[in-house]
């Protein structure tokens, strides 16, 4: 049997040819010849283009009243990708297993539940103060790989992928007497002010981390 040795650098992605040797049946070299095993490491997994999940937060208008429930959810789709190792096709499967929500005011939520759209309140939170906040979802993915159409094998370790932040304005609504015959002047009292250092939301002094 002819054996070729190849050293694969998972970090740099380079292959080093260790040369060829011949092993004849009945010799120690033949008996000790290891089979070619293709595996996918966590580092290999992290280099693949796993897409971030779409984070959904708050009403579509981009604002909500202070102390109003903010609904958080995402679509937990499993992604399948393909690559090639040692000239052999390898399929990769990335499955979301947990979700970390950073609400931008110091409060965070970690859960294994992707949540549900309104009116469900499976994953929810409120803002206690007025201002702009960025809501960020970071998803943890587990992985599996299949070599040349073979059985699925687990990848040792997980990866984290952050979604694009969702900007949301928390508005403090105040009751006031108005003349019903006069239309609302949105320029005088805009529902959503321009984002600036003066309109950024403050941190919640009672911020906490919740695990659901």
Q: Using CA atoms, how far apart are residues 53 and 75, in angstroms rounded to an integer?
A: 7
State the DSSP H helix or E strand holding residue 14, giving kind and residue range, or none if neither: none
Length of the chain: 212
State whether 142 and 197 are in the same domain: yes
C-alpha 91: how far from its chain's center? 20
59 with 6, same domain? no
Within this chain, do residues 151 and 120 fall inside the same structural domain, yes or no? yes
pLDDT at 2 over 50: no
| Rounded Cα–Cα distance for residues 172 and 189 (Å) | 12
| Residues 62-117 pLDDT 10s | 888 889 999 999 999 999 998 887 778 889 999 999 999 999 999 999 999 999 98
> Among 3-7, 87-91, 187-191, 197-201, which is the least confidently predicted range?
3-7
Banded pLDDT at 173 (limits 50, 70, 90): confident
pLDDT reported for residue 87: 76
Q: What is the pLDDT of residues 139-155, one digit of tens each?
A: 999 999 998 888 899 99
> Quick one: 11 and 81 in the same domain?
no
Is the pLDDT at 1 greater than 50? The verdict is no
pLDDT at 52: 95
Residue span of the structural domain in which 132 resides: 40-211
- Please tell me which residue, 33 or 105, carries the higher pLDDT value: 105
pTM across the whole model? 0.75
Are 89 and 22 found together in one domain?
no
Q: CATH number of the domain that 167 lies in? A: 2.60.40.10
What mean pLDDT comes out for the span 127-134?
A: 93
- Is the same domain home to 96 and 139? yes
- How many domains, the chain? 2
**Cβ–Cβ under 8 Å, residues 86 and 139:** no
Q: For residues 198 and 40, which has the higher predicted lDDT (pLDDT)?
A: 198
pLDDT at res. 149: 85
User: In the prediction, which pLDDT does 38 show?
Assistant: 74
- Asked if residue 63 and residue 11 are part of one domain, the reply reads no
Please indicate, yes or no, whether residues 24 and 87 belong to a single structural domain of this protein.
no
| 32 and 46 assigned to the same domain | no
Residue 186 has pLDDT above 80, yes or no: no
Query: How many CA atoms within 13 Å lie on the side-chain side of 6?
Result: 14
The average pLDDT across 13-17 equals 62
Q: Are residues 111 and 32 in the same domain?
A: no
Identify whether residues 182 and 112 lie together within a single domain.
yes
At 167 the pLDDT is 93
Predicted pLDDT of residue 40 = 84
d(CA 109, CA 210): 5
For range 37-59, the mean pLDDT: 88
Residue recorded with tokens 């694009």: 164
- Indicate whether 25 and 44 sit together in one domain: no
In sequence order, the 6+-apart residues with CB closer than 8 A to the CB of 140 are 96, 97, 98, 99, 100, 158, 159, 160
Res. 136: pLDDT tops 80: yes
């Amino acid at each position: 049997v002819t054996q070729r040795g190849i050293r694969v650098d998972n970090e740099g992605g380079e292959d080093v040819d260790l040369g060829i040797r011949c092993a004849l049946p009945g010799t120690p070299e033949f008996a000790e010849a290891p089979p070619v095993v293709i595996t996918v490491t966590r580092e290999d997994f992290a280099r693949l283009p796993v897409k971030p999940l779409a984070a959904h937060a708050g009403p579509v208008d981009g604002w909500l009243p202070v102390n109003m429930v903010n609904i958080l959810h995402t679509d937990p789709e499993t992604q399948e990708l393909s690559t090639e190792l040692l000239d052999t096709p390898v399929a990769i499967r990335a499955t979301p297993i947990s979700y970390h929500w950073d609400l931008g005011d110091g409060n965070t939520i970690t859960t294994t539940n992707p949540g549900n759209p309104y009116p469900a309140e499976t994953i929810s939170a409120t803002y206690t103060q007025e201002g702009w906040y960025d809501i960020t979802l970071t998803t943890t993915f587990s992985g599996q790989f299949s070599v040349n159409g073979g059985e699925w094998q687990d990848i040792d370790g997980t990866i984290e992928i952050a979604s694009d932040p969702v900007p949301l304005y928390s508005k403090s609504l105040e009751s006031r007497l108005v003349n019903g015959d006069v239309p609302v002047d949105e320029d005088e009292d805009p529902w959503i002010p321009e984002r600036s250092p003066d309109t950024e939301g403050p941190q919640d002094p009672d911020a906490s981390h919740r695990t659901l």
